[in-house]
Amino acid sequence: MERNITPDRKHLLVASRPVLGLLLFIFMLSVPSRILAQTPGIKKDSSDHIYAKKRFGRSTLLFSMGEVVPWAWDRFGVNADYSRISFTSEKYTLNPAHFTWDNDGFQTNQIGHPFHGSVFFNAVRSNGYNFWQSIPATFGGSYIWETAAETQAPSINDFINTGFGGVMLGEVTHRMTNRILNNHSHGFKRQMSEVFALLINPSNGLNRIMDGKWGSIPGNPADRDSTPINAELDLGLRKFNVDNKNPFKDGHFGLYGRLRLQYGSPSESMREAFSNVNVTIEAGQDDSSKLNIVSLYGSLAGWKVYTKNNTHLAILSANYDYINNAAFFYSAEGVRMNFYSEFRVTDKVKFNTAAGAGIVILAAIPDGYTYNSRNYDYGPGASYYGTVKLSVLNRLFYTITYRGGVMGTVNGNPSNYLLHTLTNELSLRIADKLSLSAEEGYFNLHGNYRHFPDVNKTYPYVRLSLKYGFDL
């Protein structure tokens, strides 16, 4: 839903936006920060000492840039109609009764807005504030954008995606960029690390430029984040198909790459938010999008569960998933309880298991019938999963994983959905860090519609790759 308003060039953003932004930002950064800082059980995380000094002025500057720069590009770079804001448009957008759901594209809503939210988050996070203190700035930045930067009615889905997704993406990029830059690399490698860190975490990159730290090597070893990062890179061929067609016979293979990162250990610093982070990014040749998967897992709190022969882990996590390939697309944000165990059959054979369930705050699910020119519906729900990994001689690995979810539509064609996936992966280590891998599986979507025939589609796929493991 949009409301087209004739722009009043005498009353653009310069007059109204900074006042609203500054007042709300001061409230977010002062009151909630003091409350959280005094709350029992909330501790500093292992990276806080790197930016021990809180810099309110710098935070305000970067936060404001996160609002103004994208708006200025929309207004003066591409001259977008929705950027022609005025006092009249802001009077309309500030009315809570006008909040609605928008019909923007899947990529814009599900990956673009979370990235924008990460800029708000890291404007604060990279200037001395901890994880919990940075959350209000993310949702506040989303609210300001929705009510002051566009003439369109404020979007409920944008507020959630920018807020929750921004926190997830923001904390992950905060930790990853600090870890990547806190090393003794020189020359070209150092410069490429700086550029990469700037692209995924602009707020931290601008801080380094303004502080004169760009390209410099950290001095005191105590000021460096030494959390281990285990990485796994897959390069190979993949194929997707629709309606149960054999992925080996139908269609054609395309090149793809997948990067998996594990930051920290699930059994350490268990009461520290995001002390353990898992990241999966996949890209390749595709008809719809080059970026096909972004999956983030961040631990919020954890507990050890002792039994007679084993120690198990129970971990509460925040999760963000974005899938977009030629056959299937889906995105969701939520919170989940996970249970991890390891069972040793012999010294040479062991099983690792994981299972969990939780709530889905908001999911974007494909809708084959289209709603308001949008090809997906929005709704909350529940998710669940289970996985078993067999390791033999630390050389042969087999993993089977099932994931499922149920969602009800709150915006879209009246419906409810059942989704599930099953994957099988077999890997053989042929060298110290090199493995051959084959993966087969499918996505299944069942949609139960009130006004249309039900939909039940299966999307099988296969991947063949060379896998390289290394430590960062």
DSSP for 248-301 reads TTSS--EEEEEEEEEES-TTSSTTSTTSSEEEEEEEE--SS-SEEEEEEEEEEE
Stated as kind and residue range, the H or E segment containing 342 is: strand 329-344
8 A C-beta contact, residue 201 and residue 126: yes
Distance between first and last Cα of the chain: 46
**Which residues are paired to 362 by β-bridges?**
333
Low-confidence ranges of the chain (pLDDT < 50): 1-44, 49-51
8 A C-beta contact, residue 237 and residue 464: yes
Q: Strand, coil or helix: what is 17?
A: helix
Q: Strand, coil or helix: what is 154?
A: coil
Across 381-392, b (16+ Cβ under 10 Å) vs e yields bebebebebebe
8 A C-beta contact, residue 333 and residue 361: yes
CA distance 140 to 117: 10
For residue 22, what are the contacts with CB-CB under 8 A and spacing of at least 6? 60, 64
Residue type, 23: L
Q: What is the pLDDT of residue 252?
A: 75
Which among 182, 187, 184 is positioned nearest to 197, based on CA atoms?
182
Which among 165, 159, 115, 102 is positioned nearest to 296, based on CA atoms?
165
The DSSP annotation for 207-221 comes to HHHHTT-TTPPP--G
CA distance 291 to 165: 17
Domain with CATH 2.40.160 in the chain: 227-471
Question: What is the value of pTM for the model shown?
Answer: 0.86
8 A C-beta contact, residue 171 and residue 274: yes
Question: Which alpha helices (H) appear in 240-285, and where do they start and end?
Answer: none
CA dihedral 325, 329, 333, 336 (to 10 degrees): -90
For residue 5, what are the contacts with CB-CB under 8 A and spacing of at least 6? 84, 86, 88, 89, 92, 151
The residue whose two tokens read 């990529």 is 107
Taking CA 437 as the corner, what is the angle to CA 435 and CA 441, rounded to the nearest 5 degrees? Answer: 160
**φ, ψ dihedrals at 218, nearest 5°:** -60, 140
| Token pair of 116 as six digits | 């924008």
Pick 227-471's CATH classification: 1.10.3470, 2.40.160, 1.25.40, 3.30.450: 2.40.160
Q: Strand, coil or helix: what is 12?
A: coil
Question: Which alpha helices (H) appear in 155-201, and where do they start and end?
Answer: 156-160, 166-181, 187-200
8 A C-beta contact, residue 281 and residue 296: no
| Token pair of 300 as six digits | 């919020």
Q: Strand, coil or helix: what is 47?
A: coil
Stated as kind and residue range, the H or E segment containing 419 is: strand 415-429
For residue 182, what are the contacts with CB-CB under 8 A and spacing of at least 6? 50, 218, 223, 224, 225, 226
CA distance 37 to 60: 19
